[in-house]
């Protein structure tokens, strides 16, 4: 699995790490060695990989192979892991098992090895243990003479003083050893000697704390595999790059306050080398490393670093161009030409390889679209054909893989082998439906065999899957080739610049013949724009530049970018006639809706045209773009460069999304979607625009100056109704509804609904006063037996839902009532038939409907339970809290003559119903039913 992954993408660091783990898990040294060899070819600067490979070779007895690794990589890879491995190898070869009895030659070899290691990686923060080992090795030397002892003492003192001035992880331990060493050697002068070295040690300790913080950020954001990979610019990668850059800046700031510039340069160079190993595929690190060498007056080293980067990143245009420019500055023209030639050749080959790869994929998929041969008919009788078909169907479903829209296998797909889309599982419902059709009546003879139908369905589904895959491959091909063509054109442009700087315009013209001979589809418009502008600015030949622009306009007629550059050139050269001619010619092409060209031409007309041309252009602008209006055109016309105070201060254009072009982005997307549904026709062709004045006449409520493209692109207001767009209802099948009507119980002194509704005529305040007068001056109840149920008059007096309906129907609001006239008595009789409205008996009657909006009425009624009699009345204005002035009536311990129990407004727990008269001025028809009550 890991082999396939690394074969597909050689920069997959996780796959390489997984391959090494899998090889190590096999227990085979040969398999592990093969994996290490392949990984080191991909990551030759990974010190940890090299050190592990050396240990493997030494364990297998391949001493020559291990030494070859050291000879080839030790000085080019400044990795502390590799150097520590080298030091261990030298110690094992020269020091005995007991660590003593070294010959003078072996001791000299080990001493030289220590010095070499400390020279190259001694400034690493993790080299503290190497310093301690070196100090112990020097201290273990046996001396015979006094001068040898003095040399040993001087070497130890020098080593201690060098180590304590470096921010090492074990610098405090080294300082303690140095303190003890001075105390043993010269107790009298120890304090003075230590006081001289103490500032450097304290600076190193302070720098170590800051370095630990920087390295913690680097380690926290590094890739999990520990191997470098090309950037995909994820958040983790950006954080890792930023952590390294902060560390490099910190080293360049000389935090140790070193007085020698060579020492500072040594530390900075070492930091950059570490960064180049960790960020091997980041071009900017290599370029910044070269720029640092240039800043310290080391141009040769700067060029060498770019040469190394060119070998590591051959496809990086930034590295190749920087390498060529650095060589040009050093007058190495042969190097420059070689770099540019290699770059254009590599990019040209990349286009050919990519085109061939996609063509191979599409050809293989097109072969799959060829109709397969029909399957042989099913054997057996018609009676058991269904069983045989079911068995074949089950087998096909078991063998057919599910369709997938994944693109993961497109890169390694070569069209050979088994088909991923040879079959598709059929649905049971479709089989059942088709089977029923084939079995019915006389069509059984003409019906197809079930296996044939199933094969056809599977072939159709497989064809759709292949077509979807081909569409995805074509889309990726266009994106890939577009980027490659732009890179190829850019390489030629850089090559032309180099030729113009070093050899002149004649060399440019000679060199330009090579890309001009390329077939169509290899270069973009950028190269030809650069060639034309070079003629204009360098050779001062405007006629040649104009001819080049006009000639290549035929090759890029549908490129708005090329038309924009062409128009920009004509404006800068003062050729106003051709500017207008180019705009009119472009106006009739497929790119006529490009806002950049319109805006550029508008700026030209506003600055250098007359008012007639400006007015005509503004009208065309408004007709073309929906987000444009007279106001936006005026705001653009009354501005220059960044001086847009009219648009900002007087029109508020940035704060008004209805006038801002960004507000029309959704409309533009909708327009594109609609255009796609119509088959790709341009939006302005499918929706013709009308004249502004004519449209204003069709919309009399909109001023002419406020008409925008948004209005012009939509249907007119109050437009005549097209009968064909609406479905005409069929009324012949409707039956009139005639509900059964039960007559209302009549009281002793009946009052008709019509007469009751008569006093509700007039304005709302007058209606309210009439209701109050009628209620407080009615006759007292006569003695006699209580009726069996409430009458319509009693319901109306209580102000419940029936009174609201009756008042609304009797005095409707003309602005809110558009229906047929209704009979009030019939309506009330119908409502009384509803469950829960008409009470069955007096004992169980309670109003069930609670209408919260009635609380806005002007009168309050609270009827307490008890016997009949009078009540307490208070009248007065409601004040601010009661918008409808009125009276409040309270009855305690009383019963109405109609036999209704009281309903306490303030004590719902006692069983009651609080209500107010409705505001009849409000439009009826909004009911919010709530239920409240008690036993």
Q: Does residue 106 register a pLDDT over 70?
A: yes
Q: What is the pLDDT of residues 110-132, one digit of tens each?
A: 999 999 999 999 999 999 999 99
- Has residue 213 got a pLDDT over 80? yes
Residue 592 pLDDT class (50, 70, 90 cuts) = confident
What is each CA distance from 283 to 119, 218, 227, 275, 797, in whole angstroms? 28, 18, 16, 11, 92
CB neighbour list of residue 558: distance below 8 Å, 6 or more residues apart: 589, 590, 591
Residue 158 has pLDDT above 90, yes or no: yes
Q: Per-residue pLDDT tens for 372-414? A: 666 565 554 444 444 444 444 444 443 434 344 444 444 444 4
- Give dist(CA 703, CA 690) in Å, integer: 16
Higher pLDDT, 843 or 245: 245
- Average confidence (pLDDT) over 295-311: 95
Share of the chain above pLDDT 70, in %: 62
H/E segment holding residue 876: strand 872-876
What are the two backbone dihedrals, phi and then psi, of residue 929, each rounded to the nearest 5 degrees? Answer: -85, 125
> How far is residue 894's CA from residue 898's CA, in Å, rounded to a whole number?
12
Instruction: Calculate mean pLDDT across residues 172-184.
Output: 93
Max mean pLDDT among 228-237, 584-593, 912-921 falls in: 228-237
At residue 8, does pLDDT exceed 60? yes
Look over the chain and give the mean of its residue pLDDT values, rounded to a whole number: 74
The mean pLDDT of 824-844, rounded to a whole number, is 58
Percent of the chain with pLDDT over 90: 47
The predicted-structure confidence for 562-580, as pLDDT tens digits, reads as follows 999 999 999 999 999 999 9
How sure is the predictor about 787, in pLDDT bands with cuts at 50, 70 and 90?
A: very low
Task: Determine the straight-line distance between the first and last CA of the chain, rounded to whole angstroms.
Answer: 79
pLDDT at residue 203 greater than cutoff 60: yes
Confidence of residue 447 (pLDDT cuts 50, 70, 90): low
Q: Are strands 872-876 and 886-895 parallel, antiparallel or unpaired?
A: antiparallel
Report the candidate in 324, 328, 320 with the shortest Cα–Cα distance to residue 347: 320
pLDDT reading at 917 higher than 70: no
Question: Distance (Å, rounded) from C-alpha 269 to C-alpha 293?
Answer: 9
Residue 919 scores a pLDDT above 90: no
Torsion 681-687-688-691 (CA) sign: negative
Region 608-615: mean pLDDT is 92
Beta-bridge partner residues of 866: 893
Q: Which segments within 361-501 are labelled E, that is strand?
A: none
pLDDT, one tens digit per residue, over 360-376 is: 999 999 888 876 666 56
């Amino acid at each position: 699995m890991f082999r396939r992954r690394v074969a597909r993408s050689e920069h997959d660091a996780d796959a390489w790490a997984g391959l090494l783990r899998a090889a190590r898990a096999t227990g085979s040294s040969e398999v592990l060695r093969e994996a290490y060899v392949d990984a080191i070819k991909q990551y030759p600067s990974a010190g940890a990989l090299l050190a592990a490979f050396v240990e493997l070779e030494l364990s297998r007895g391949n001493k020559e192979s291990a030494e070859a690794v050291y000879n080839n990589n030790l000085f080019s890879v400044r990795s502390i892991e590799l150097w520590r491995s080298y030091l261990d190898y030298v110690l094992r070869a020269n020091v005995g098992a007991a660590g003593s009895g070294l010959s003078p030659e072996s001791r000299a070899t080990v001493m030289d090895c220590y010095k070499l290691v400390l020279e190259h990686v001694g400034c690493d923060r993790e080299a503290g243990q190497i310093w301690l080992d070196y100090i112990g090795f020097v201290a273990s030397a046996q001396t015979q003479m006094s001068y040898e002892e003095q040399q040993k003492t001087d070497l130890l003192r020098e080593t201690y003083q060098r180590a304590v001035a470096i921010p090492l992880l074990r610098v405090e331990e080294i300082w303690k050893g140095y303190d003890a060493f001075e105390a043993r050697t010269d107790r009298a002068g120890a304090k003075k000697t230590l006081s001289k070295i103490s500032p450097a040690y304290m600076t190193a300790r302070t720098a170590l704390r800051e370095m630990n913080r920087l390295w913690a950020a680097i380690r926290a954001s590094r890739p999990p595999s520990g191997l470098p990979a090309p950037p995909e610019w994820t958040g983790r990668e950006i954080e890792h790059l930023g952590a390294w850059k902060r560390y490099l800046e910190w080293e360049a700031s000389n935090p140790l306050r070193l007085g020698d510039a060579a020492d500072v340069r040594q530390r900075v160079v070492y930091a950059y080398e570490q960064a180049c190993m960790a960020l091997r595929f980041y071009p900017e690190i290599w370029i910044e490393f070269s720029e640092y060498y240039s800043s310290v007056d080391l141009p040769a080293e700067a060029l060498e670093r770019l040469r190394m980067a060119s070998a590591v990143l051959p496809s990086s245009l930034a590295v190749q161009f920087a390498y060529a420019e650095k060589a040009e500055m050093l007058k190495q023209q042969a190097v420059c030409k070689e770099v540019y030639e290699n770059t254009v050749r590599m990019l040209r080959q990349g286009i050919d390889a990519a085109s061939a790869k996609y063509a191979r994929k599409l050809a293989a998929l097109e072969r799959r679209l060829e109709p397969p041969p029909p399957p042989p008919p099913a054997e057996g009788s018609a009676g058991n054909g269904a069983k045989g078909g079911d068995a074949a169907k089950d087998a096909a479903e078991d063998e057919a893989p599910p369709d997938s829209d994944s693109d993961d296998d497109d890169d390694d797909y070569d069209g050979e082998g088994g088909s991923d889309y040879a079959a598709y599982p059929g649905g049971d419902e479709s089989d059942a439906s088709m089977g029923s059709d084939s079995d019915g009546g006389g069509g059984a003879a003409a019906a197809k065999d079930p296996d044939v139908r199933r094969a056809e369905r599977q072939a159709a589904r497989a064809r759709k899957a292949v077509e979807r895959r081909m569409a995805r491959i074509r889309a990726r091909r266009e994106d890939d080739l577009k980027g490659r063509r732009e890179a190829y054109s850019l390489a030629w442009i850089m090559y032309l610049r180099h030729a113009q700087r070093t050899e002149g315009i004649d060399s440019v013209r000679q060199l330009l013949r090579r890309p001009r001979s390329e077939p169509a589809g290899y270069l973009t418009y950028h190269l030809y724009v650069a060639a034309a502008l070079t003629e204009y600015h360098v050779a001062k030949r405007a006629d040649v530049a104009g001819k080049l622009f006009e000639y290549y306009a035929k090759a890029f007629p549908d490129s708005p970018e090329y038309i924009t550059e062409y128009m920009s050139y004509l404006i800068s050269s003062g050729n106003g006639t051709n500017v207008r001619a180019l705009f009119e010619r472009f106006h009739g092409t497929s790119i006529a809706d490009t806002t950049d060209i319109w805006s550029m031409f508008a700026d030209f007309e506003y600055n250098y045209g007359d008012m007639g041309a400006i007015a005509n252009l503004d009208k065309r602008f408004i007709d073309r773009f929906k987000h444009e209006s007279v106001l936006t055109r005026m705001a653009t016309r009354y501005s220059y460069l960044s001086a847009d105070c009219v648009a900002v201060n007087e029109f508020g254009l940035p704060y008004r999304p209805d006038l801002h072009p960004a507000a029309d982005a959704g409309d533009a997307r909708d327009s594109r979607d609609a255009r796609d549904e119509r088959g790709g026709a341009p939006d302005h062709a499918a929706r013709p625009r009308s004249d502004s004045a004519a449209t204003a006449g069709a919309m009399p409520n909109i001023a002419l100056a406020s008409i925008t493209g948004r209005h012009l692109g939509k249907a007119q207001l109050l437009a005549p109704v097209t009968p064909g767009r609406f479905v005409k209802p069929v009324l012949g099948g409707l039956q009139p509804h005639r509900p059964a009507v039960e007559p209302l119980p009549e009281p002793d002194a009946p009052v008709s609904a019509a007469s009751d509704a008569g006093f509700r005529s007039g304005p709302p305040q007058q209606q309210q006063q009439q209701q109050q007068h009628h209620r407080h001056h009615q006759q007292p109840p006569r003695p006699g037996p209580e009726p069996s149920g409430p009458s319509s008059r009693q319901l109306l007096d209580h102000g419940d839902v029936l009174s609201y309906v009756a008042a609304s129907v009797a005095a409707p609001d003309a602005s809110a009532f558009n229906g047929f006239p209704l009979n009030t008595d019939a309506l009330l009789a119908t409502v009384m038939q509803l469950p829960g409205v008409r009470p069955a008996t007096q004992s169980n009657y309670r109003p069930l409907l609670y209408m919260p909006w009635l609380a806005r009425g002007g009168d309050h009624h609270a009827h307490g339970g008890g016997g009949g009699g009078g009540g307490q009345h208070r009248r007065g204005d409601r004040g601010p809290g009661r918008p409808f002035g009125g009276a409040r009536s309270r009855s305690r311990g009383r019963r109405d003559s109609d036999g209704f129990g009281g309903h306490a407004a303030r004590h719902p727990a006692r069983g009651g119903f609080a209500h107010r008269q409705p505001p009849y001025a409000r439009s009826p028809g909004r009911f919010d039913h709530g239920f409240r009550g008690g036993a």
